[in-house]
Structures are given as structure tokens and as C-alpha cells.
A and B are shown apart, each in its own frame.
Chain A
């Protein structure tokens, strides 16, 4: 398979601060990366689609100015939660796609964000 990493694996921050989460494809180049959010006992909800070198496409109801996504290279996408509030506390998961590996999406291990 292919490996996708996320950093950090967990983060605790104060309300009002910004937090950056990295998603890396370690052994393949990902033309597209996706960002999901998952609240406790709930399913994954797609937040945005990130294509290398272009602006991210956000799902309805997701604030693009609050959740900044940058896909600067074929192996790295970042999600920045700006001015975080307690309601932003969640499990954030990224996935990466490459046509070179059976068109499969590979998921990262997730990042647990807790906003105090």
C-alpha cells in the first residue's frame, strides 16, 4: 500500500489561536488530497478537496477563510484552523489519491484537535 502521515497526531490549543495540520504522502505523489472532519461517534464529513497548485474546493457549509488549505507540492497539503474555538475540536483526517495505485484513496492516521 501507500503511506500517508499527518502531523501532529494531536494538538491542544487555546481559543483564538491558529493551528496547522500537515498531511504528507510518504511514498507517492498525490495529485489530490481530501480533508475530512469527524466528531465523536459520527461519520467522516468531507471538508474540502485539495489539488496541487490550485485553490481548494470546499464543501457547502465549510468556511474557507477559517479552514485554510494549501497544497504546495505533490506530497504535502496543510490545513490551518484559524482562530480556533472549542466547537472546532474534532478529529481531522486527510486522504491522498494517486492514479498510480489502483485509483485508491489512502487515509492518514488523523489529528485530534482540542481547543480549550
Chain B
């Protein structure tokens, strides 16, 4: 059974810092991995999706990397801003399934002005 773990559970940083969020998964036979952002009282917004054949994806100040063989992904946020404060979730789509996502419990990020 696939398990997804995110460390740390919470992170507080001053504005302007570069930071890394970690995601690990137990079964490396994944189809892709996705990073989401969740704001309080709102749904999930997809940030980046990395196919299993890819090593990284970039969008603005965000960079996500994937090392499938070791079961790890990182989300790098450059020059953090208070508006980046949210919960960040990673989810893997397991190989052999065209719909099932397994989510981590998220990292609550607070960027202090």
C-alpha cells in the first residue's frame, strides 16, 4: 500500500528565505507526482505535476524535483513571501491506476513579514 509522508509538518520562516519542503513515498512505481497548495477554507490548487519520466518542473519561484528510485520529491520555494503561507500537499498517482491519488498530510508553511 502506497504511503506518502511530508516533513516537516509545519515550517515558519522569515520573508525572503529560500525553503525546501519534502515528500517521500514508499512505492516507487508511480505514474506522476503532484504538489498542491491549500489555503484555509478553500480547496486545493495544483502547483506542479511531474511525470515519472521527468526530474523536475518549474513554475515561477517554485521548483519541484522527483527522484523516483529513492521515493522522494522536494518543492523548492525561492524568495518566500507572506502570500506563500498555506498548507502544501504532495500526492502520487500510483502506476496502474488512472485516477487514484495518495496524499501526504501536508506541510503548513508560515512566512513572516
**A and B together in one complex:** no
